[in-house]
Amino acid sequence: MTPTTEVRRAGDRAHTDIRWLDSRHSFSFGGHYDPANTHFGLLLVSNDDVVKAGQGFDTHPHQDMEIVTWVLEGSLVHQDSEGNNGILYPGLAQRMSAGTGILHSERNDAWRQQSGVDVHEDDVHFVQMWIPPHDARLRPGYEQLDVSDRLDSGELVVVASGMDKHRDDRAITIHQRDAALYVARLQPGSQTTLPESPYAHVFVARGQATLEGTGDLDTGDAVRVSDSSGQRITATERGAEVLIWEMHAALG
């Protein structure tokens, strides 16, 4: 089949802007509801978040969701009701499986000392993505792994996957057999190819790139590709960090 693409520009995303949070939503989220934009393939949420230092999401619940967090700048502290604790930073893949129910918090604890006083100063910037598990009522779980060395190669890295074909090379496992998340840090002029799949979601997290057959993409732009057939994505002179979901099923 012939691939079709739908470009979603960064500036067209719904926007939540409160004292401590600046969040851009690729899909309907919270009070931002658009019945024509609830998901693509299996991807329900793709939030591009900036949280101010010393602030964050207090303890709150989730259920029956696979939540993958990818940090671009700064660090994020995770704690949950299963006793998991982690500090997320660029190059670290993290997955939380909400399953039958979990409580967690995510906070930016960046600080430094000035004249003996703790001073919070650095924002944390991250992308958080949600997809449903292939089975409901799973046991809650957590996993993280640093993949910085693999990213330095400039290749397309399998960050999170539940697909059998990635059993030996995925960084972390998600409980969704029809989906995988890849990340590539592309140097200026370098390129990679999209996986072949019925649904592919391309998000330019940083920099600029060109997608074959689609055109130029800037930071925050996304492309929803139906019937992806291995199109090339090439970084411009600024380089690019690109997040790509391969999906072989869709929500009804």
SS (H, E, C) the chain: CCCEEEEECHHHCEEEECCCEEEEECCCECCECCCCCCCECCECEEEEEEECCCCEEEEEEECCCEEEEEEEECCEEEEECCCCEEEECCCEEEEEECCCCEEEEEECCCCEEECCEEECCCCEEEEEEEECCCCCCCCCEEEEEECHHHHCCCCCEEEEECCHHHCCCCCEECCCCCEEEEEEEECCCCEEECCCEEEEEEEEEEEEEEECCCEEECCCCEEEEEEECCCEEEEEEEEEEEEEEEECCCCC
Whether residue 170 is contained in a domain is answered as yes
Q: Counting Cβ atoms within 10 Å, is residue 9 exposed (0-12), middle (13-18) or buried (19+)?
A: exposed
Q: What is the mean pLDDT of residues 21-35?
A: 97
CA separation for the pair 246, 119 (Å, rounded) = 41
pLDDT given for residue 120 in this prediction: 57
pLDDT given for residue 110 in this prediction: 74
Which phi and psi (to 5°) does residue 179 adopt?
-145, 150
Q: What is the mean pLDDT of residues 100-113?
A: 85
Percent of the chain residues topping a pLDDT of 70:
96
Q: Is the dihedral of CA 211, 227, 179, 172 positive or negative?
A: negative
Q: And the tokens for 79?
A: 């704690």
Whether residue 135 is contained in a domain is answered as yes
Q: Is the dihedral of CA 69, 12, 22, 235 positive or negative?
A: positive
Whether residue 94 is contained in a domain is answered as yes
pLDDT given for residue 119 in this prediction: 53
Whether residue 185 is contained in a domain is answered as yes
For residues 114 and 194, the model is more confident at 194
Q: What is the mean pLDDT of residues 215-228?
A: 98
pLDDT given for residue 177 in this prediction: 98
Whether residue 206 is contained in a domain is answered as yes
Q: What is the mean pLDDT of residues 51-66?
A: 95
Whether residue 252 is contained in a domain is answered as no
CA separation for the pair 227, 247 (Å, rounded) = 10
Quote the domain boundaries for residue 141.
4-247
Q: Over 70: is that where the pLDDT of 42 sits?
A: yes
Q: What pLDDT digit, counting tens, does each position of 117-146 carry?
A: 555 578 999 999 999 999 999 999 999 999
CB 73 within 8 A of CB 125: yes
pLDDT given for residue 121 in this prediction: 72
CB 124 within 8 A of CB 110: yes
- What total number of domains does the chain contain? 1
In the predicted model, what is the mean pLDDT of the chain? 95
At 252, the pLDDT band (50, 70, 90 cuts) reads: confident
Q: Counting Cβ atoms within 10 Å, is residue 136 exposed (0-12), middle (13-18) or buried (19+)?
A: exposed
Which CATH number covers residue 101?
A: 2.60.120.10
pLDDT given for residue 136 in this prediction: 95
pLDDT given for residue 236 in this prediction: 97
pLDDT given for residue 109 in this prediction: 79
Q: What is the pTM (predicted TM-score) of this model? A: 0.95
pLDDT given for residue 114 in this prediction: 54
Q: What pLDDT digit, counting tens, does each position of 222-246 carry?
A: 999 999 999 999 999 999 999 999 9
